[in-house]
Amino acid sequence: MAAVDDPNSLGAYRRQVNYSPFAGGSAPRSPPTLGRTRLSFADEADVDDFVSTLEKFERGEIGPDQWRAFRLVRGTYGQRQTDGESMLRVKIPQGVLEAPQLHALADVAEQWSRGFGHLTTRQNLQFHFMRLHDVEHAMRRLGEAGLTTREACGNAVRNVTCCPYAGVAEDELFDVTPYAEAITRHLLRHPLSASLPRKFKIAVEGCEEDHLLTAINDLGFRARLGPGGERGFRVTVGGGTATWPVSGALLSDFVPAGEILNVAEAVLRIFHALGDREHRNRNRLKFLMKELGPGRWRREYDETLAKVVGEGGTALPFPPDEPLLEAAPDRERASAPSVAQAAARAKAATVRGPGILPVAASPAPFPRWLATNVRRQKQDGFRIVTVTLPLGDLTGAQMRVLADLALAYGDGTVRVTGSQDLLFRWVRTEHVSDLFRRLAAAGLGLPDADTVADVTSCPGAESCRLAVTQSRGLGKLLGDFLRDRPELVALVPDLRIKISGCPNGCGQHHVAGIGFQGSVRKVGGRAVPQYFLMVGGGVDDAGARFARIAAKVPARRIPRALDGLFDLYSRERRDGETATAFFQRVELSLVKETVRDLETLGDEVTPDDFVDLGEAAAFAPEVLEGECAR
């Protein structure tokens, strides 16, 4: 803990750099209108509170536990590194990023992080290896663009995720974006939102396909239409993964759209009042529901909802069946950077370690990219374009190029997917090839979006205190391996691979067709990085199916394991059976037999088996106390 006159304290640091939060004076407290309809999610008071509380901690006026609880709710995690590095998580409400926000994120990446950011499966963007005293700078720059880190971490209502195709998908019932945003604004800085027993996750989906995996959320909303065409939602509650995966239970088959804020409020009140605050490993909502049992849970919910409504409730800020609709952009589109300009700007990016750093990808042939990364929009004449981002990483320079391309070819925004990719919407059909050439020039022209090659991974032991293995190393290895083998991608296009460095499942491996969970074994007293190989996970209208553990495979042998699994599918599948369906039904004994030779570590052990992917030194796992459990 720093003393009052410590030269490393925040106060000394701000004096040293002649810090002023805003050039030319303080920023206005009232938020500007951003984008086409959205207001700011930021509040300068949040940053002021962060600064004053850090100074109290450094003066010894509050203890480490109080400081930890406070900074987590402000989006700041401690990393496994012991020399003061932090991770800053930025909420991207509904996954929507406007061009000015991309520029703000680029500033933070370049000035205070490693020159790049990492998109998560929950539509956040994370900056790693930041100095704690730089967090204030980053927060204020983000706030200028309407972004916040408030309740991005800690025992809070986390970012409310929304289907990235909402408003433009051909199979959606209706655009759920306004409803998801209404939930966000109702619960952001809500009196209960930052003082829960544990984290609380909400997802809102409007398409036939559940892109957001609502069944593994504490509250999942799926769009439905009533008998008269009125809008509403099927609501599930109490889903989650980690050490006890649970599919969300049905709360109601149809909640009128105008009542969703009251439903969210009621569930939140119950969790706040009755959740277990003593035992960190069993204090999610799913454990409370199990403890109460179905009967008492239902009574608590009905009584609490009646109380919420009796108090007047909370109405949507628009007529429930007549929200503002997303229309084609009516502004004059900006001029696009030339192919040469996009290439030069992206090439000039400076990224720095430690860890696995993003590199500019070699583009695919246009027909291959077109087949996997472009889909029809329900509005005639427009296309949805996906930017494939290995490991969810993009540099500050790429963020700036994307901002300019969004203004030139889209509607000035991009959306974040649950697969750690980005979407352009409202791209005119005749502009798709021009957009591709500029994306490719910026190192963003990879194909295979939403295929088996589009591997999902959490940050892993590169920075996370709980992780066992370098999941990012495995994610890069498998992504490169599959993109170099288009015949394998074509064989199992529907399959998804997801990787987590520990059981908590930030990489969502529990609901993957093929999932990998980091682990360790000892051979001759030396540690070998390995992964539990899991098969058969997924989410559909029936809920979540959780992958079954089939084997334990050393990390560097996993590409060979995939070859064997794909060959097994090719030989044993039924007529018309998808890879996802096959791995849900296949006997685990067949899977285990397929990889048995790889699983065994005997005479064939090599020196490389003792080195984790993405590392050069011998594997030395160290699992620390995880702040995400707080």
Q: What is the mean pLDDT of residues 34-53?
A: 86
Q: pLDDT, tens digit, for every residue of 476-526?
A: 999 999 999 999 999 999 999 999 999 999 999 999 999 999 999 999 899
pTM of the entire predicted model: 0.93
Q: pLDDT, tens digit, for every residue of 124-148?
A: 999 999 999 999 999 999 999 999 9
DSSP string, 275-333: S-SS-GGG-SHHHHHHHHHHHHHHHHHHHHHHHHHHTT----SS-TT-PPPP----SPP
Among the residue ranges 89-103, 321-335, 390-404, the one predicted with the least confidence is 321-335
Q: pLDDT, tens digit, for every residue of 96-110?
A: 999 999 999 999 999
For position 31, what pLDDT does the model report? 38
Which is nearest to 541 in space by CA: 204, 165, 174, 215?
215
Q: What is the mean pLDDT of residues 335-353?
A: 96
The DSSP H or E segment spanning 550 is: strand 548-554
pLDDT category at 34 given cuts 50, 70, 90 is very low
The number of beta carbons lying within 10 Å of the beta carbon of residue 493 is 16
Beta partners for residue 497, in sequence order: 514
Q: What is the mean pLDDT of residues 455-462?
A: 95
Going along the chain from its start, the domains and CATH numbers come out as: 10-144 (3.30.70), 161-310 (3.30.413.10), 339-350+358-441 (3.90.480.20), 456-629 (3.30.413.10)
Give, in degrees to the nearest 5, the angle at Cα 264 between 626 and 392. 45
Among the residue ranges 322-331, 544-553, 578-587, the one predicted with the least confidence is 322-331
DSSP state of 539: E
Burial of 103 (0-12, 13-18, 19+ CB in 10 A): middle
Judged against a pLDDT cut of 80, whether residue 217 lies above it is answered with yes
Q: What is the mean pLDDT of residues 53-78?
A: 96
CA 346, CA 361: separation in Å to the nearest integer? 11
For position 80, what pLDDT does the model report? 87
Give the percent of the chain with pLDDT over 70.
93
User: How do strand 124-131 and strand 85-91 relate by DSSP bridges?
Assistant: antiparallel
